[in-house]
A and B are shown apart, each in its own frame.
Chain A
């Protein structure tokens, strides 16, 4: 394995019908680093994230996560097996904008689902892990609650715990605060910040520019299916070189004045 890089994406293409969504995206995420992807909606950010754990099947390109590698393109049209895809996904945690908790399971059941169903872990062992993770995201007392009885922020924290239960090598976060009431955003960002401090490799698609500034090691600006520009947050967010990046960020600067971090 090449030293350092935990995720390596080379020249990734993806179209939905005639709509070309990714037009040759390359990205390198170092082990233990956090990369934030910002950009206007429809720029392909979420599709890129969904391709990294193969929820979408890329048309062309090359993805490596940890020591698992996949190539896509002509001549490699052979359909990958369900088993191979599942194993690939089990190693990459993903958290979604709309939580997607399993409504027929309690918070504890949601977190235990991966270990018991996918890893076939004994229930007792899985429960210990799940309770520890719920405590970690500050929801030890909500283990028995069903998702419909949790707030948005609580649901998203359960979803993070559910992803962590598979002990993933990377976490992919897809606009995880976009569906939350403003006053609930902080509790979710707090959990993500803690993960970053613990050295979790993360790819975060976000609209929270201030949060990206604070937590990310690298910020990439995506527009129209390509990564236009990337760099350390202080550079990309404060002195962007590309006019498209500047145009996009101008909106945020106007409203926020300065980057003061999440509140």
Chain B
């Protein structure tokens, strides 16, 4: 018993362990899948953003800023409900969810990649070009090896956030961990215990990952 008189009762959750685990599996699958797809999107976008041709960069800026400057929840809802109307085709929830999550995190990765490349001192370009390297060679042999090191910490942070971001797909009935929580709540009328458990599971997955990321970051700093 607590002061408010609410009787906390967690044991019923055991009966739903199958549902909870399948929800967690979906959450992790969406996280990993959209990190990988987002990485491809971000890599292409980030590197093309370095072009001096505005015909290439302008549409990419529009893409990146739209996804960075609108709420992810709005994007998910829009892609699921509005885009099918615009395109006149049916977009299943899992396709909309994957698409939005990948494009969303891809926009952030693109900025991380562009920022990493731009953070390398101009003198490195000068020196590499002065010994006759072509743009592509400078990028591959001089700039990227240094820039990737600087990209790793923000990349890890963005990827950790992505696990939490996936919880928003529950709003369009993708059966992730949070969605299964709402199902269990509907069946048991015990939202306090259910959402506490959901929070604990997210924490148990993410906290070790943040510790690992800090460790990597420290090691990178030492290698400088």
Contacts and interface: CB of A to CB of B under 8 A. Distances in A.
Which of under 10, 10 to 19, 20 to 34, or 35 or more describes the interface residues of B? 10 to 19
Contact residues of B: prevailing secondary structure = helix
A contact residues, range: 20 to 34
Contact of A55 (B121, B124, B126, B135): B126
A163 to B, nearest CB: 7
B135 A104 contact: no
Contacts, number: 69
A58 interface: no
Given A102-B124, A104-B145, A82 B135 contact: yes
Nearest to A114: B131
Given A83-B134, A86-B132, A118-B132, A113 B141 contact: yes
Nearest to B142: A102
A40 to B, nearest CB: 23
The listed residue with most A CB atoms (<10 A of its CB), out of B121, B126, B135, is B126
Interface string A80-102: 00110111011111101010111
Interface string B123-164: 110111111111101000110011000000000000000000
A163 B130 contact: yes
A89 B132 contact: yes
B224 interface: yes
Interface string A39-68: 000000000001001010000000000000
A162 interface: yes
A117 interface: yes
A82 B139 CA distance: 13
B141 A117 contact: yes
Contacts of A93: 130-131
A89 B130 contact: yes
A227 interface: no
A47 B207 CA distance: 52
A82 B123 CA distance: 18
A90 B124 contact: no
A7 interface: no
A263 interface: no
Contact of B132 (A101, A103, A166): A166
Residue among B121, B126, B127 with max Cβ neighbours from chain A (10 Å) = B127
A102 B131 contact: no
B126 A82 contact: no
Contacts of A92: 130
Contacts of B126: 50, 55, 94, 96, 100
Contacts of A165: 131
B122 to A, nearest CB: 9
A94 B130 contact: yes
B131 A163 contact: yes
Give the one of B121, B123, B131, B145 with max A CB within 10 A: B131
B146 A162 contact: no
A39 B131 CA distance: 27
B132 A96 contact: no
Given A103-B146, A104-B146, A96 B133 contact: no
A221 B218 CA distance: 50
A168 B137 CA distance: 19
Of the candidates B126, B130, B137, B141, the one having the most CB atoms from chain A within 10 angstroms of its own CB is B130
A118 B123 contact: no
Given A50-B126, A96-B126, 10 more contacts: A53-B130, A83-B134, A90-B131, A90-B132, A94-B126, A96-B130, A100-B121, A117-B137, A159-B127, A166-B131
9 closest A-B pairs by CB? A90-B132, A100-B127, A100-B123, A114-B131, A94-B130, A118-B132, A86-B134, A86-B132, A104-B145
23 contacts: A50-B126, A55-B130, A86-B133, A89-B129, A89-B132, A94-B126, A94-B127, A96-B126, A100-B121, A102-B127, A102-B142, A103-B146, A113-B128, A113-B133, A113-B142, A114-B131, A117-B133, A118-B137, A148-B224, A162-B127, A163-B130, A163-B131, A166-B132
